[in-house]
Every structure is written in structure tokens, then in C-alpha cells.
């Protein structure tokens, strides 16, 4: 399948929590639907031309479009299927509330959890899922 038809998750490569989220997704995504790219990568810069360069959010690019913040997380969770889709019920909350919580967490994540000091080396199978 071509990259344009895949589901690509752009994440903050410096963020410890973002990297752990990606590691969890690698295990949960049994259908290998997702590809991953750091927001700091050249691929990200070339692909996300309509997204602000200083974005402090996960970006999810899917065949449906591009999504950021809480909407990106919920769309990713929806793709994982049951039982993870139970979390999709958070969609009933107004997006302003969800994004306010997302922004608060994003603003404080380095202070609370720190930054990556080193990168985990992905397995050969995992490397095929990174762009």
C-alpha cells in the first residue's frame, strides 16, 4: 500500500511520552495499519506543509484527512478497534474541552516526564513502519 493511503502518525521524537505511545501502538496495531514519523524528520517537513512548524501536537494523517491534538488521538484509537474504541466515547466531550486538556498535558509533559536521552532501537520488523 502506498504511503498516501496509509495512516501516518507524526509524533514528537524528543517526547518520552510520545515515544512510549508509539511503542504501545506498535504492539496494539495488529493489522500494521500505522506508519510513524518524527515531527523533527525531513519527511515530516515535506509532508506536513499545511501544519504549523512549531506545532506541539501529535499529527495523524489518514485517508480521511489530517488531525491534531485530541481529535488525532481519538481517530487513532478508533482505528485500533475493540476494546480500544471504548475510549472513543470521549468524543462526546466538546472539542474545546478535549483540546484544553491536551494542551495542558503537552505544555507540561517535559517537566513531568522529561525528554528522551536516547532512542530505542526498533526491531527489523518495526523499522519497516517508520518513515
Tens of pLDDT, residue by residue over 44-70, are 888 887 776 667 789 999 999 889 999
- Assign 12 to helix, strand or coil: coil
Q: Which three cell numbers stand for residue 77?
A: 484509537
Q: Residue 17: phi, psi to the nearest 5? A: -65, -40
Domain boundaries, the chain: 3-117
Instruction: Give this prediction's pTM.
Output: 0.84
The CATH classification of domain 3-117, taken from the options 3.90.1520, 1.10.3470, 3.40.50, 3.40.30: 3.40.30
CA dihedral defined by 120, 63, 3, 8, rounded to 10 degrees? -10
Rg for the chain (alpha carbons), in Å?
A: 14
pLDDT at 4: 47
Q: Which pLDDT band, with edges at 50, 70 and 90, does 83 fall under? A: confident
Across all residues in the chain, what is the average pLDDT? 84
Amino acid at each position: 500500500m502506498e504511503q498516501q493511503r496509509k495512516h501516518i502518525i507524526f509524533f514528537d521524537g524528543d517526547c518520552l511520552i510520545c515515544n512510549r505511545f508509539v511503542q504501545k501502538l506498535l504492539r496494539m496495531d495488529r493489522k500494521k495499519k500505522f506508519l510513524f514519523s518524527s515531527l523533527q524528520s525531513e519527511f515530516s517537513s515535506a509532508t506536513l506543509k499545511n501544519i504549523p512548524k512549531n506545532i506541539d501536537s501529535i499529527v495523524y494523517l489518514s485517508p480521511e484527512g489530517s488531525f491534531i491534538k485530541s481529535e488525532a488521538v481519538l481517530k487513532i484509537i478508533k482505528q485500533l478497534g475493540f476494546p480500544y474504541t471504548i475510549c472513543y466515547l470521549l468524543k462526546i466531550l466538546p472539542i474545546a474541552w478535549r483540546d484544553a486538556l491536551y494542551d495542558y498535558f503537552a505544555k507540561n509533559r517535559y517537566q513531568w516526564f522529561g525528554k528522551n536521552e536516547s532512542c530505542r532501537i526498533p526491531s527489523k520488523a518495526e523499522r519497516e513502519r517508520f518513515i
